[in-house]
Structure 1
Amino acid sequence: MSLLSRCPVVPVVVLDEPDQAVPLGEALLAGGIDVVEITLRTPAGLPGIRRLSALPDLLVGAGSVLLPSQVDAAVEAGARFVVSPGVSADVLGRAAEQGVPALPGVATATDLMAVTALGLDEVKFFPAGLLGGPAAIRALAAPFRDVAFMPSGGVTAETMGEYLALPVVPAVSGSWMAEPALLRERRWDEVTTRAAAAVRR
């Protein structure tokens, strides 16, 4: 199974505290989401990945991966895929060495030529909203017929359906079902409600 075909919605999560991780993971699973991207933007990212990787039904990845050393740290913590905002041959090479899927962020046809030359056929389209949304993906996909796109950045509960209607978009990425305020306030029931609503769309 490809990474993007597992779940149609991949939450992008910024943890403030590592102890938010397990309740969050359990709330997402209760709502039917079994993939999560924990960004490395905060010090809680790596320990959060470590704790979440203890949940056997959850596929945990690391986001905002910019350097090969971060690939190593994320995999050591239990991450099973890595996501980057752009294209780095060094990061992609290290992910391949570590044996984990990588989703590089692409914005242009040049980016797509670079990643397909490296043998990848799944990418993150970022920042999707600013780049033109579904129309931009439709245009870029025309010459890259074997590439699957995960739009990220500006995707919302209201717009996700427009993206998922495209055959080349098996999954979207977004933060609305696990917003920082929900985590800080420990509103796990709301996380579950939003996750379930997202999966139903």
Structure 2
Amino acid sequence: MDERVDERVSERVVERVDGVLGVSPVIPVVVIEDSADAVPLAQALLRGGVGIIEITLRTPAALAAIEMVADQVPEMLVGAGTVITPSQVEAVTAAGAGFIVTPGAPDGVLRAALGSGLPLLAGASTITEMMRLAEHGLGAMKFFPAEASGGRDYLAAVAGPLPHLRFCPTGGITPATAPSYLALPSVACVGGSWLTPRSAITEGAWHEIEALARDTAALR
């Protein structure tokens, strides 16, 4: 991709990523085993005050789940997570994803994601990776895996040399640790799986997920 084109694409992506980061203090990171669960899950989160969901491409049901939420729950901003190949970028774009989340940012995936025009939260865990994403115009990114990579203290230290960057830490964050991350000026939101326990999804305990969402929405 021509660097000038890459720069223009990045500008459009950056303009829209702030809208993703501002929806909720926590982005629910979800693994869907049965696409039929996607719509009632999204509706339960909405009732609890959380208007965003990241459905990870870790199961065969994920693409259908993204498409169903995008089509049937338009009030919910649905994103695709664990996007690791250019072909997956094409697939989630066609499915109606509203944003893309990657665990890392190799050249092929980064170019494809930027070229999609969708808001992108690309993963980074080292200062070099963060600086590389910033060179592409991405001032906001996913810090992953957050706890295993140094956690809150690491991000606080990063803010010294890189005060212009904003983060969505994801990986190992709990309801107990989320507030300490959110207290950092560089943290816009966090990603967490505790809002959507697998057992609650399997059992259709949507009231439980609604209550967890309500508690989460009150974090900020």
Contact 2:50 2:214 in 1 (8 A): yes
Alignment of 1:139-158 (within 5 A): 139-158=157-176
Q: How does 1:13-52 map to 2 (within 5 A)?
A: 13-52=30-69
CA contact (8 A) 1:88 1:104 kept: no
Task: Tell whether the 8 Å contact from 1:92 to 1:102 is kept in structure 2 after alignment.
Answer: no
RMSD: 1.0
Supply the distance in 2 between the matched residues of 1:106 and 1:125 (Cα, whole angstroms). 5
Does the 8 Å contact 1:15/1:38 carry over to 2? yes
Give 1:92 deviation, angstroms.
2.0
Q: 2-side partners of 1:10 and 1:85: how far apart?
A: 15
Q: Please give the alpha-carbon distance, in whole angstroms, between the structure 2 residues aligned to 1:140 and 1:27.
A: 36
1: CA distance, partners of 2:143 / 2:208: 27
Matched residue, 2:124: 106
Aligned-pair distance for 1:38? 0.2
TM score, norm. by length of structure 1 = 0.97
Determine if the alignment matches structure 1 residue 132 to structure 2 residue 153.
no
CA deviation map 1:95-129 (0-9, x unaligned):
22211011111110110111011110111111111
Cα distance in 2 for partners of 1:180, 1:84 equals: 22
Query: Contact between 2:23 and 2:50, CA under 8 Å: does it hold in 1?
Result: no
Provide the secondary structure at the position in 2 that maps to 1:170. Answer: coil
Asked whether the 8 Å contact 2:167–2:189 carries over to 1, the reply is yes
Give the whole-Å Cα distance in 2 for the aligned partners of 1:35 and 1:183.
Answer: 17
Match of 1:71 among 82, 89, 94: 89
Secondary structure at the counterpart of residue 10 of structure 1? strand
- Contact 1:40/1:63 (8 A) holds in 2: yes
- What residue number does 1:163 align with? 181
Q: Percent same amino acid at aligned positions?
A: 43
Retained in 2: the 8 A contact 1:13–1:39?
yes
Aligned residues: 201
C-alpha deviation, 1:6, in angstroms:
2.1
* 2:139 alignment counterpart: 121
Deviations 1:65-107 (A, max 9, x none): 0001101000100101111111222222112221101111111
In the alignment, structure 1 segments of 5+ residues that lack a partner are none
Where in structure 2 are there 5+ consecutive unaligned residues?
A: 1-15
- 1: CA distance between counterparts of 2:167 and 2:141? 5
Contact 2:27/2:52 (<8 A) preserved:
yes
